Amino acid sequence: MAAQHTLHVALTEPLVRYVGGQVASGRYATASEVVRAALRLLIERDAAALDRLPEAETSADV
């Protein structure tokens, strides 16, 4: 496992409730797990968007 670092973030009340709900449901054991899962999804989404970028440029040239 990679080294872990502590990072403090401020969340809006709706996000706090969502994270707490995910932990309370048992889907995740901790709030940190929820945030890590969310960040993994964001990384995947951004990578997929970058992968599609050349396709969009190519189709615009047609």
Instruction: Examine residue 12 and state whether it is found in any structural domain, yes or no.
Output: no
Fill in the amino acid letter for 14: P
Decide if 45 is inside a domain: yes
The packing angle between helices 31-61 and 13-24, to 10°, is: 110
Domain span at residue 40?
Answer: 30-62
Query: Does 59 have pLDDT greater than 70?
Result: no
Residue 49 belongs to what H/E stretch? helix 31-61
What pLDDT sits at residue 61?
62
Return the pLDDT at 56: 59
**47 in a structural domain:** yes
CA 61 – CA 53 distance, rounded (Å): 13
Domain membership flag for residue 34: yes
Please report which confidence band the pLDDT of residue 52 belongs to, taking 50, 70 and 90 as the band edges: confident
> Which residue, 1, 55, 5, is CA-closest to 35?
5
Residue 7 lies in a domain: no
Does the residue 3 lie in any domain?
A: no
